[in-house]
């Protein structure tokens, strides 16, 4: 059984099926790309996994538990927006993570912040956009969680920041953990993915090993995605 | 976890309310000094007016800051952090209620402190003779035991009132947040609807019950009898506040737990 399991997971918004009978199993130790155009259902699935939405029907479990207090203690989540309080200084944010999460590695976070030359005394809202993204990622990746959900971690940042973000993800994730990266910018992330999940209109249309898929189709994941989602991808 | 949630709520709210608390107390002190020394009443009137405005601003700000904090950290962008912390929905909600009560009490204490500073400093006709007042109070043979009970009931009522008001606001925000647009407007409408429903139910509960006689028909001849009657009223009001708080808690809990849908 995978560390993340979805069985017939469905979420409706009015008459729209944001997720439609999704069945998915993700094992520990894998970096998985949840790939699909905007509005495909990626964020909905991640929100359900983090207890921010309830499914209409079906079930999603993290390490055998439904999303709740227990799963939140072992799940690290990077949302697709700025979520840290702007008035807080960077060192206060580090203290807050240390207070709230038992698996937070303060030394790791402080080392990464120092490496980037981010002043811990600076308020979060006064950092550049790129640095705000990086601080958020550093907080999330400094946890020793069992599951990481990174929702659009590289959207809206410059190529140098993208490289740094991907470097942080691969060099800091816990090897016994599962990492789910949701994105529509596939070319930039495909080299770090072990598995890919294509999602379209709330349905899983493909779930495969990244290397096997490339070998089988003889092209990059990005090319395969562009072909499979032709005229639908909002890229 | 509740303690840590309250700590961060306290820090976030304190940075907004702290300065206004200091301003109110400082202007109170200035009012006291002017009342003490200045023979011309012009400056005293100006400072008193500023103090009055500051006290109103402080009360309004307390309410606004508590509303903003709840909306932001539960249904806004900060909800992506706060609502994914390893805490149950009940713990999250209780910590917000406790936080609101603490700030409600602090604002009240600053108001009382402001009044106390002025009263203690201003000396009319050679000052207020506190010692003589205490001696006179002692000689009146008042039923201190009964007065203490009434005072305790009064304080419990005030705290229960704060809890109920905070939960009513939280429930209104939770209902308003379900709307796709104009969430603020829908929250206000929900608040009005809750107030109307609460008052209609209370009206029927009071008129249909025969538990308590009107003060006009009860024979209240002694101070003790009046206190006893007041105790019954305060106790009834406490029971109503506990029941309505439980209802608003349940409504808010259900929305936070089942209908949370951050943008």
Task: Give the residues of chain B that fall short of pLDDT 70.
Answer: 36-41, 122-128, 209-220
Q: Does A153 touch chain B (CB under 8 A)?
A: no
Q: In the Cβ-directed half-sphere of B90, how many Cα atoms lie within 13 Å? A: 2
Sheet of A57-62, strands arranged across: A16-26, A4-13, A57-62
Question: Is the ipTM, as predicted for this complex, more than 0.90?
Answer: yes
Q: Which residue has the tokens 């139910």?
A: B201
What is the pLDDT, as a whole number, of residue A233? 47
Mutate to test the interface with B, among A16, A62, A74, A79 (most CBs of B within 10 A): A79
Chain B CB within 8 Å of residue A46 CB: no
Indicate the domain borders of chain B.
Answer: 1-128, 135-263
Q: Which two tokens stand for residue A231?
A: 């005229």
pLDDT at A130 over 80: yes
- Confirm if B118 and B25 have CB atoms less than 8 A apart: no
Q: Nearest by CB to B80, from A70, A75, A79: name it.
A: A79
Mean pLDDT lowest among A157-171, A197-211, B51-65: A157-171
Assign A67 to helix, strand or coil: coil
Q: In sequence order, which residues have a C-beta less than 8 Å from that of residue B192 and are 6 or more positions away?
A: none
Closest to B71 in 3D by CA, of B239, B194, B184, B240:
B184
Q: How far is CA B131 from CA B128, B136, B137, B138, in A?
A: 9, 9, 10, 11
- What tens digit of pLDDT does each residue of A165-193 get? 888 888 887 778 999 999 988 888 999 99
Percent of chain A with pLDDT over 90: 73
User: Do residues A103 and A145 make contact, with C-beta atoms less than 8 angstroms apart?
Assistant: yes
Say how many CB pairs under 8 Å bridge A and B.
Answer: 54
pLDDT band with cut points at 50, 70 and 90 for residue A53:
very high
Mean predicted confidence (pLDDT) in A142-163: 89
Q: Above 60 in pLDDT, residue A232?
A: no
Q: Report pTM.
A: 0.89
Dist CA A56 CA A62 (whole Å) = 18
Share of chain A above pLDDT 70, in %: 98
Q: Is 60 exceeded by the pLDDT of residue A210?
A: yes
For residues A112-124, average pLDDT = 93
pLDDT of residue A235: 46
pLDDT digits (tens, 9 = 90+) for A13-23: 988 899 999 99
Q: Which residues of A touch B80 (CB under 8 A)?
A: 52, 77, 79, 81, 83
How far is A189 from B94, CA to CA, in rounded Å?
42
Going along chain A, which residue ranges are E strands?
A: 4-13, 16-26, 31-35, 57-62, 75-78, 147-151, 178-183, 195-200, 203-209
């Amino acid at each position: 059984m995978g560390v993340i399991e979805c069985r017939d997971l469905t979420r409706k918004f009015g008459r729209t099926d944001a997720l439609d009978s999704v069945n998915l199993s993700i094992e520990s130790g894998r970096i998985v790309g949840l790939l699909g155009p905007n509005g495909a259902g990626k964020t909905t699935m991640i929100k359900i996994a983090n207890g921010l939405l309830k499914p209409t029907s079906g079930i999603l479990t993290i390490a055998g538990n439904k999303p709740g207090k227990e799963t939140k203690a072992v799940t690290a989540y990077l949302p697709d927006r700025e979520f840290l309080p702007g008035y807080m200084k960077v060192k206060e944010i580090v203290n807050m993570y240390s207070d709230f999460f038992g698996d937070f590695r303060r030394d790791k976070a402080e080392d990464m912040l120092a490496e980037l030359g981010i002043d811990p005394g600076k308020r979060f809202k006064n950092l550049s956009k790129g640095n705000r993204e990086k601080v958020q990622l550093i907080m999330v990746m400094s946890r020793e969680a069992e599951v990481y959900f990174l929702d659009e971690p590289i959207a809206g940042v410059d190529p140098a920041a993208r490289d740094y973000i991907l470097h942080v993800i691969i060099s800091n994730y816990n090897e016994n953990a599962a990492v789910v990266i949701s994105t529509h910018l596939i070319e930039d992330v495909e080299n770090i993915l072990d598995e890919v999940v294509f999602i379209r209109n709330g349905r899983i249309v493909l779930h495969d090993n990244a290397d096997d898929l490339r070998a089988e189709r003889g092209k990059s994941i990005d090319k395969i995605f562009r072909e499979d989602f032709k005229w639908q991808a909002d890229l | 976890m509740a303690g840590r949630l309250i700590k961060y709520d306290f820090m976030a709210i304190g940075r907004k309310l702290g300065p206004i608390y200091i301003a109110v107390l400082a202007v109170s002190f200035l009012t006291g000094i002017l009342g003490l020394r200045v023979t011309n009443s012009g400056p005293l009137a100006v400072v008193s007016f500023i103090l009055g405005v500051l006290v109103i601003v402080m009360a309004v700000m307390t309410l606004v800051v508590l509303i903003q904090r709840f909306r932001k950290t539960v249904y806004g962008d900060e909800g992506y952090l706060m609502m994914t912390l390893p805490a149950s929905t009940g713990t999250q909600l209780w910590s917000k209620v406790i936080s609101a009560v603490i700030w409600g009490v602090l604002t009240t204490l600053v108001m009382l402190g402001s009044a106390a500073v002025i009263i203690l400093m201003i000396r009319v006709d050679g000052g207020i003779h506190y010692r003589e007042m205490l001696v006179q109070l002692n000689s009146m043979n008042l039923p201190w035991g009964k007065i203490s009970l009434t005072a305790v009931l009064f304080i419990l009522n005030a705290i229960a009132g704060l809890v109920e008001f905070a939960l009513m606001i939280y429930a209104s925000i939770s209902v308003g947040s379900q709307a796709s647009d104009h969430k603020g407007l829908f929250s206000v409408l929900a608040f009005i609807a809750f107030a109307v429903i609460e008052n209609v139910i209370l009206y029927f509960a009071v008129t249909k019950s025969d538990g308590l006689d009107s003060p006009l028909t009860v024979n209240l001849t002694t101070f003790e009898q009046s206190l006893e009657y007041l105790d019954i009223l305060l106790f009834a009001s406490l029971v109503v506040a506990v029941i309505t708080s439980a209802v608003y808690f349940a409504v808010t809990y259900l929305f936070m737990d089942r209908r949370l849908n951050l943008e």
